[in-house]
Structure 1
């Protein structure tokens, strides 16, 4: 981690970190003070001290993100003993690295596209269940009294091109008719009521969408689990799962756990533990930056309704204010391979931010970080059970806060054989990636191609 002293020529703000204009121009030296860790960890740092490993449990869960913790809490509330394992510190992965935007999970496909892919009946049931995902996380946070700045602030989706606005209007009308999702359109002439920028061509507002502090949400879930007698144990990677007549054994470097059932909840951090799952998930990097404090009157002008925000590009950006300080958090795909933590991985985020909010050029960037999204070949999440009887829930494709929480709950109910465990996703075929290793290496190339297409479309739109 870098020190916090400014460097001549880096144009830092009063707080640590280089100015946005400097990060946008190119690499900055380590002495610039940019901190490569999630902003959320300032309030809720991961717990690195490993806990004792029990010899047995009713259910062992691999992965301590929102899926695994939600599943653990459901099982504990039904009287089962649970241990949650993670190869790193609990909360080290994407569940405390995302932007804290909470939607229904319906953002991946336009309604008519989903109908064309899945048929009308299946598409309608999937879309309605997406709404229930948002309702479930709202209920969970309220009933468990988790203090994580959860608020139904609404989402503004900004149209990058005029045709995006028209397509969005049609799609929002379809979504309302099928799933009852409330929304309203904001034409370009009125968009300053939602965003202080002229970079877009209007947009739509989904007033039911929400935001939270992912670090505090994760911390709250861990606290509820441990208070109920469950164990959340880091630095204990699952190395092998073996099946015997009575159940399973999960081997770790710190010992072996005997259990009746196993749940895999690793999403973008899925490795080779269960090959049947590893070839069905490709990890994709998502990066974020956080600014230093911005004058509150300026922030109120730029984001007057303190919603969560997103754009309609193929490689889209998402952004919001921090819930606990007047900062701006801006995210998108990482600029290089996931895991390559350097200023060049975040330069494009600063550039995109300044295209929307050029008045922030001299504002410092304090934090930069990345996490891994778990992407499926068909771009929908999956839950179920492998041929060897291991349960799983993963593949949220970048909309994982509500989906992971809901899928964790549902896969726990499936372990219990509960009649309320059924979902619209149970009977979907879970396809493997053709040439999985090639697909993984091709991610940066594909994203670069999409960026070029977005840039070309933007030039054409401005030329009209």
Structure 2
């Protein structure tokens, strides 16, 4: 298979020191051998694919899921665990131009519905996913960013019907948010969780609904037939009436031509510290359980987990090579210490990286694939996939079942992303953007 980044970026190396894998038992699943028939085939066993399988199985549909590696191998199993608003980066002004103010409001309703979907799933099944944080906190990297918070507070009220809380710089430390910041605004929607605990439970519950799930079963090609589609794998074929592509940033360039260049994979890196003592937390002034991110263009995201380990992540990187990985390793430590200097001697126990997917539309695509009746895809969550990818799977199941209308489905999700220029080399478009962002973020 052909990919955008170096081959090693799609193998086991980026997750050799993945914290989440130490918190859940390994999942043992079979590899597909021979031929099999199913109503719906789902390619990709992450949040999107597993959510689709769960909702389809709940409706009594015969569904088969396949993954090129194993469930949760991609962004699902290695993200920061922020179940929050997002899924796209599009502004309200751009949404109004794209599809009008009514659809803009529906788009924002869908973002909130995505968080509610995960919340309700966890609550309904009484799941232990190490949940914490009341909403998400944005921290001002510069004084001028804090000056924009009142206007942002008004926008949050209009978009989501909730009141965001603003903290001035002197109030940060007394609220447990001590660091190199100039103010904060908290939107009371969302929470932090352990993504592998959540996804593992989603997988097991989907199996109880009848979903068949295969590991080490890459889809090589999708071939239309008179009865539907045949999906070729290395050791067999799945014949289906309908299919869903749920591979997001880990999609290959040659498995399904329509997907080629419609998304841009972007690297994201994460570190997790040893447990930080209460004394060390007090010394830094960070005692909060809030999940947070800063106002940089190339943002940092971070949270103190329930076991007092601190998770810290950042975007960036154009290559997956020994040299580039070492540079990322140095930078993430430099940035961590820059924001939390009292923790400069705190040991980093875990470190990993992964790929998130961007679309040119700045919105997720969740819909039918043009020219392929009964073929669907969901991708492009812009680094906020815990909630939106789960919601995408639910929406895709609604489409398969002809039940659209039961949950918000804005036109922006149906806007087909145009292809990025430069084909497999499109990641290099990020070089000048990263360079400019680093100068702006100083």
Normalised to the residue count of structure 1, the TM-score between the two structures is 0.85
Name which of 69, 89, 93 aligns with 1:108: 89
Alpha-carbon distance in structure 1 between the residues aligned to 2:149 and 2:298: 17
Give the Cα–Cα distance (whole angstroms) in 2 for the partners of residues 414 and 51 of structure 1: 28
1:285-324, aligned counterparts within 5 Å? Answer: 285-299=267-281, 302-323=285-306
Residue 176 (str. 1) matches residue 174 (str. 2):
no
Question: Which residue pairs with 1:327 in the alignment?
Answer: 309
Q: How does 1:242-261 map to 2 (within 5 A)?
A: 242-261=223-242
TM-score (norm 2): 0.89
Give the paired residue count: 421
Does the 8 Å contact 1:152/1:208 carry over to 2? no
Q: Does 1:126 align with 2:93?
A: no
More divergent stretch after superposition (328-337 vs 394-403): 328-337
> Secondary structure, in 3 states, of the residue corresponding to 1:190?
helix
Q: Over the residues paired in the alignment, what is the CA RMSD in angstroms? A: 2.2
**Aligned equivalents of 1:185, 1:377: Cα separation in 2:** 32
Shift of residue 335, structure 1, vs aligned partner: 3.9
Which of 210, 228, 235 is equivalent to 2:209? 228
Residue 331 of structure 1, CA deviation: 0.2
Q: Which residue of 2 aligns with 1:191?
A: 172
Taking the aligned partners of 1:200 and 1:113, their CA distance within structure 2 comes to 29
* 2:198 counterpart residue number: 217
Task: State the alpha-carbon separation in 1 of the partners of residues 165 and 393 from structure 2.
Answer: 31
The corresponding residue for 1:21 is: none
Q: CA deviation at 1:78?
A: 0.2
Contact 1:334–1:346 (Cα < 8 Å) also in 2 = no
Please, which of 366, 372, 376 is the counterpart of residue 388 of structure 1? 372
Once residues 41 and 382 of structure 1 are traced to their aligned partners in structure 2, the CA distance between those partners, rounded to angstroms, is: 29
1:398 maps onto 2:398 in alignment: no
For the 8 Å contact 2:179–2:285, the answer to whether it is kept is no
Task: Trace 1:8-407 onto structure 2 (pairs within 5 A).
Answer: 36-44=16-24, 46-47=26-27, 50-53=30-33, 55-105=36-86, 108-112=89-93, 114-115=95-96, 118-271=99-252, 272-299=254-281, 302-323=285-306, 325-338=307-320, 342-386=325-369, 387-389=371-373, 390-407=375-392
Q: Distance in 1 between matches of 2:154 and 2:179?
A: 25
CA distance in 1, matches of 2:151, 2:22: 41
Mean CA deviation greater in 412-421 or 365-374:
412-421
Rate the CA distance shift 1:339–1:121 in 2: closer, same or farther, 3 A: farther
Note if 1:451 corresponds to 2:435: no
Q: Which runs of 5+ in 2 are unaligned?
A: 1-13
CA contact (8 A) 1:64 1:90 kept: yes
Structure 1: give runs of 5+ residues left out of the alignment: 1-33, 456-464
| Cα displacement (A) at 1:287 | 0.4
Please state whether the residue corresponding to 1:58 is helix, strand or coil.
strand
Closer, same or farther: CA 362–151 of 1 in aligned 2, 3 Å:
closer
8 Å Cα contact 1:183-1:206 kept in structure 2: yes
Once the two structures are overlaid, the 10-residue window that deviates more, 195-204 or 212-221, is: 195-204
